[in-house]
Amino acid sequence: MADRLTHRLTWNAWLAHLDALSRACSGASRRDAPEMVRELNSLIARAPSLTCHEGMVALDAVRLESLLDLGMADGAMLAMLDKDAGFIASRGRGDNYFVTIILPGHGREEAAFGASLALAGVRAVIMSLCAPALAVNDALMANAKLPAALH
Q: How far apart are CA 128 and CA 95, in angstroms?
A: 23
Can you tell me the distance from the alpha carbon of 50 to that of 140, in angstroms, rounded to the nearest whole number?
A: 23
Residue 73 backbone zone (phi > 0: left; psi -120 to 50: alpha; other: beta)? alpha
pLDDT tens for each residue of 53-96: 888 999 999 999 999 999 999 999 999 999 999 999 999 888 89
Cα angle 84-86-91, degrees, rounded to a multiple of 5: 150
Residues 9-39: tens digit of each pLDDT:
998 899 999 999 999 999 899 999 999 999 9
103-131 mean pLDDT: 91
pLDDT at 141 over 90: no
Residue 98 confidence (pLDDT) above 70? yes
User: So what's the pLDDT on residue 134?
Assistant: 62
Domain-wise residue ranges, the chain: 2-144
